[in-house]
Structure 1
Amino acid sequence: MSLDTVSFGEILSDLRHYKKIGIEDLAYEICSVEELIEFEKGKKYPTLDQLYEIAARLNVEVSHFINYASSSTFNYVTAVFQLIKKYKRERDYEAIYEIVKGERDNPLFKQSLSQQFMLWHEGICKYYLHNDLAESVQLLYRAIDLTNPDRSNLSENEIEILTSLAIIKFEEKDYISATNMFEDALDNLDSLPHILDPKVKLRILYGLSQTLSGRDMYKESLKYSNLGLNYCINNELLYLFGEFYYQSGENYIKINEIDRGIEYINKAKSVFLLQNDEKFAKLVSLELDKLLEKC
């Protein structure tokens, strides 16, 4: 999402000069000097993540610029949500937490669904940044309760929050609670007439498979990892495709179907290489060696 407004460049230039920051210093590790010059001339506009970095370096709130944005071409709330999702994919919880704190009192985020989204991600950050399990769980349940205090017939957004809770329980090795939460999330998702984001189901299936493996229930885990593989194939998705291949391969080895397990883990490696993820490809090879040593 780009900022599209007539006066943005003038505001940026005036503010940079007022703060006595050189153009090279402001551009450093955010964009090229040439891009910043184009921003100031109004020929080009920064992406929202660039805008956050520029505002931080100038020591002003992002709203200082947003107030001049054209409401017909710029949906600030949506853009912030997209940026948070981007940082979540990158596991950059520090960046997410800074956004959540910065927008806490912004009236644009007072609508219940917006509040829910921000509470949800604050809860995630409390766990991964501060290791505060109790506060994290409380915030995630508060997020669900904002739109569904009965916690029944969950919406897709509420299911995603429940899935985050289940993942945290898995991280804590509370496998029984995690299994129950993942199963509840899957039951609710399967009850919906339509699923907007197929990745939601994949996250649940992968979480269930991992959790059941953690309980040494390898055949049960295999059911969900293979369901995930089929779902990826049927929906032409690469999301978690390599992870499901690895999970199935591990399960096959654990139930003593060694050759099949090696085949699936090698497929996982191929998927990661296809995605230019050499780090995971190497990790898969190392994990395969460890699994075979235990056979």
Structure 2
Amino acid sequence: MNNLSAYLIGDTIKSFREYKKLTIEELSEGVCTEEELIEFEKEVSYPDLETLNLLLKKLNVDLSYFFNVASRSSINYANAVIRLINRYKRDWDYDRIQEIIEKELENPIFQTDQLKQFLIWHQGICKFYLDKDLSKALELLYESIDITNKSRNDFNERETEILTSIAILHKESGNFEEAITLFKESLNYLENLPDILDPRGKIRVYFGLSQALTEVGKFEESLEYCKKGIEYCITHELIYLLSSLYYQSGENLIKLSRKEEGIQYINSAIYILKVQENKKFIKIIENEKDKLLQEW
């Protein structure tokens, strides 16, 4: 077979096999050796058309449909779905995310480890925010980690992002000490990676950790992580969560009886939001500022 670089032959065979709940032994029986099937799935070698046809018959998959799914354009579709979910996540629109997950969870395109992991990860997030079910949410989040790391050691960047989500859910549930432990664990994993592809993940850790520390009255330590987060945003030329980190700094300073300095930080947060034309969050922060000044 020629021009196979345009197709993800191995991943697609494996995805359909796992979707049909067949073992290597069951699918290869009467078609090829187990070793050959393993090589096909790893794309060490490729099946000829006759062998591929026999495999697909056992999988009850049409040849033309197989090549549509295996086309690298399918990866573009998967990336588009991921971008859409991330956009809805920024808007806190978990109903729309859940709709997408329900549609795509059984889609063979999403049966590769990385794509399935992404869906189950966000299924867990939706379970928490829509159903208020922390236990089931955590079960799904850890299940998503186990797809690529059953030992739960030496997390990669994606796994650390999921661990950060677990920490956030604990924080949102008032389990602040557990959240702090997990945020620090996430930060340790990130700092030991040779490179970080998406620096926003580290900013989420700095912000979540600073919030949890403020909640338990550790204002000085929270302020340190806010400063690290702000410096990291500036170094990487990112505005992501910058206003939130300035607000959190201001809250800590006011609670440390450094009122004027704290107000300056909160005003800086409002200024950043004005630049972003984020009227919704400007109103939220102004209301929080008024409550903070009344209480402290």
TM over 0.5: yes
Instruction: Say whether residues 1:115 and 2:120 are aligned partners.
Output: no
Specify every segment of 5 or more residues in structure 2 that has no aligned partner in the other structure, as ranges. Answer: 1-64
Q: Which residue of 1 aligns with 2:194?
A: 193
Q: Give the Cα separation in 2 of the matches to 1:113 and 1:170.
A: 26
Aligned to 2:238: 237
The equivalent of 1:159 in structure 2 is 160
Match of 1:130 in 2: 131
In structure 1, what is the equivalent of residue 172 of structure 2? 171
Moved over 2 A (4+): 67-74
The residue aligned with 1:206 is 207
Q: Distance in 1 between matches of 2:200 and 2:229?
A: 10
Partners of 1:164 and 1:189 in 2: CA distance? 14
Quote the offset at 1:239 in angstroms.
0.4
The equivalent of 2:12 in structure 1 is none
Give the alignment of 1:229-268 within 5 angstroms: 229-268=230-269
For 1:248 and 1:128, the matched residues in 2 are separated by 27
1:272 aligns with 2:278: no
Q: How far apart are the structure 1 equivalents of 2:115 and 2:266? A: 40
Distance in 2 of aligned mates of 1:237 and 1:275: 13
The CA distance in 2 between the partners of 1:68 and 1:213, in whole Å, is 49
CA distance in 1, matches of 2:83, 2:93: 14
Greater shift in the superposed pair: 203-212 or 124-133? 124-133
Match of 2:224 in 1: 223
Q: How many Å separate the matches in 1 of 2:147 and 2:248?
A: 35
Seen in structure 2, the aligned counterparts of structure 1 residues 136 and 225 have a Cα distance that, compared at 3 Å, is: same
Matching of residue 144 in structure 1 with residue 145 in structure 2: yes
After superposition, the C-alpha distances for 1:209-233 in whole angstroms (9 at most, x for unaligned) are 0000010110110011111111111
Q: 2:216 and 2:69 mapped to 1: Cα distance?
A: 55
SS of the residue 1:197 aligns to: coil
RMSD of aligned alpha carbons: 2.0
Structure 1 runs not aligned, ≥5 long: 1-63
In the alignment, which residue of structure 1 is the partner of 2:52? none
Residues 135 and 292 of structure 1, relative CA distance in 2, 3 Å threshold:
same
Instruction: Flag the 1:141–1:291 CA change in 2: closer, same or farther, 3 A.
Output: same
For the Cα contact (< 8 Å) 2:180–2:213, is it kept in 1?
yes
Shifted more, 93-102 versus 169-178: the winner is 93-102
How far apart are the structure 1 equivalents of 2:282 and 2:117? 36
Tell me, in whole angstroms, the C-alpha distance in 1 between the residues paired with 2:286 and 2:141.
36
**Matches of 2:75 and 2:119, distance apart in 1:** 20
Cα deviations by residue, 1:84-108 (Å, 9 ceiling, x for unpaired): 1111111111111111111122111
Change (3 A) 1:98 1:262: same
The structural deviation recorded for 1:73 is 8.5
* 3-state SS of 1:203 partner: helix
Residues 176 and 213 in structure 2, CA contact (< 8 A), matched pair in contact too: yes
Aligned partners of 2:274 and 2:282 also within 8 Å: yes
SS of 2:178 mapped into structure 1: helix
SS in 2 for 1:245: helix
Q: Give distance in 1, aligned partners of 2:257 and 2:205.
A: 26
Report how far residue 282 of structure 1 moved.
2.3
Amino acid at match of 1:131: K
| TM-score, normalised via structure 1 length | 0.75
Distance 1:252 1:147, change over 3 A: same
Letter in 2 for 1:101: E
Partner of 2:289: 288
Letter in 1 for 2:82: F
How many residues align? The count is 231
Residue 183 in structure 1 maps to residue 187 in structure 2: no
1:148–1:70: structure 2 CA closer, same or farther, 3 Å change rule?
A: closer
SS of equivalent to 2:154 = coil
Write the distance in 1 (CA, Å) between the matches of 2:287 and 2:179.
27
CA distance in 2, matches of 1:115, 1:70: 18
